[in-house]
Amino acid sequence: MNNFEEEINFPEEEKIRKALEPKDWTEIRSHDSWQIFKIMSEFVEGFEKLASIGPCVTVFGSARTPKNNKYYQMASKIGYLLVKRGFGVITGGGPGIMEAANKGAKLAGGKSVGLNIILPHEQEANPYIDPDKLLTFKYFFVRKTMFMKYSQGFIVLPGGFGTCDELFESLTLIQTGKIAHFPIVLIGSEYWKGLLDWLKNTVLPANNIKEKDLSLFSVVDKEEEAVDIIEKFYLKYALKPNF
């Protein structure tokens, strides 16, 4: 068992104690220097593999969605339709919604990409990813950079903290002009209603966002509608890297 595996299997209290252990300056410098090389290696591998895959759309959603859930079925159809419209499919590489989208892409004979993350749970890569297009990351921020850099759009199905993190990451980068305004589509108006009401009725009146920021994304309830938004956008604008 390597050091990282040992770390994630510690009881929670032990992990806290370990994090708070006093360290001398030499130890800190040595650890940070090696960490830089690990981070660089993840960036290099990601750039080299993903630069050649062509235009892709990322599908986000919960890893906990079971196969009999309607959103699992929708994600599979979305992956299939995206491939039929000429796009590859990128997911977070895990189970649930991610597995479903990769499955749809695989069934359609297209590119099926998985950007997996090492976690104490839910980290197993799903079997529908092309073997040469599976990457596994330790660092969330490196993984998120790959999503932003190599995706031509996002389709976001119901999910939890991780899904919301990825959604707001993309919205923030578009809002601040750090990346191009590519399409973001939320699936499931009922599921996202509470969040949208909060943005409109609380965040907007507090002047923490502008009215135009609410147009940075679309909300639909059908798979075809989501894929149509992506396709129509790129019939109007030429594909180009996000960075």
Reduced to 3 states (helix: H, G, I; strand: E, B; else coil), residue 15 is helix
Secondary structure letter of residue 114 according to DSSP: E
Q: Is residue 146 part of a domain?
A: yes
* Parallel/antiparallel/unpaired status of strands 184-187 and 154-156: parallel
Angstrom distance (rounded) from CA 101 to CA 198: 29
Residue 231 has pLDDT above 90, yes or no: yes
Phi, psi of 57 (to 5 degrees): -120, 135
Task: Indicate the pLDDT class of residue 2, thresholds 50, 70 and 90.
Answer: very low
Angle formed at CA 232 by CA 230 and CA 238, multiple of 5 degrees: 85
pLDDT attached to residue 79:
98
Asked if pLDDT for residue 14 goes beyond 90, the answer is: no
Tell me whether residue 213 is in a domain: yes
Sheet holding 112-117, edge to edge: 134-137, 112-117, 88-91, 56-60, 154-156, 184-187, 218-220
Mean pLDDT of all residues in the chain? 89
Instruction: Tell which wins on pLDDT, 17 or 47.
Output: 47
The length of the chain is: 243
Convert the pLDDT of each residue in 61-83 to its tens digit: 999 999 999 999 999 999 999 99
In a domain, 200, yes or no: yes
CA distance 142 to 168: 16
Q: How far is CA 185 from CA 10, 140, 191, 229, 230, in A?
A: 39, 22, 13, 8, 8
> pLDDT-based confidence at 7, cuts 50/70/90?
very low
- Higher-pLDDT residue of 32 and 174 is 174
Does 6 score more than 50 pLDDT? no
Range with the poorest average pLDDT among 7-16, 162-171, 208-217: 7-16
**Domain contains 25:** no
Contact 138, 40 (CB under 8 A): no
25 pLDDT more than 60: no
Pairing state between β 88-91 and 56-60: parallel
| Domains contained in the chain, number | 1
Q: What would the pLDDT profile of 142-194 be if each residue is shown by its tens digit?
A: 999 999 999 999 999 999 999 999 999 999 999 999 998 999 999 999 999 99
The pTM (predicted TM-score) of the whole model is: 0.85
Q: Is the pLDDT of residue 4 over 50?
A: no
Q: Is residue 21 part of a domain?
A: no
Is the CB of residue 175 less than 8 Å from the CB of residue 213? yes
Q: Is residue 34 part of a domain?
A: no
- What pLDDT is attached to residue 22? 66
Percent above pLDDT 70 for the chain: 84
If you search the block for the tokens 């590859």, which residue do you land on?
Answer: 88
Range of the domain at 127: 40-236
Specify whether the CB–CB gap between 74 and 43 falls below 8 A: no
Within-domain flag for 95: yes
Backbone angles phi and psi of 135, in degrees to 5: -120, 145
For residue 139, give the 3-state DSSP assignment: coil
Q: What is the CATH number of the domain that holds 55?
A: 3.40.50.450
Averaged over 25-40, what is the pLDDT? 75
Q: Is the pLDDT of residue 5 over 50?
A: no
Residue 228 scores a pLDDT above 60: yes
pLDDT number for residue 27:
60
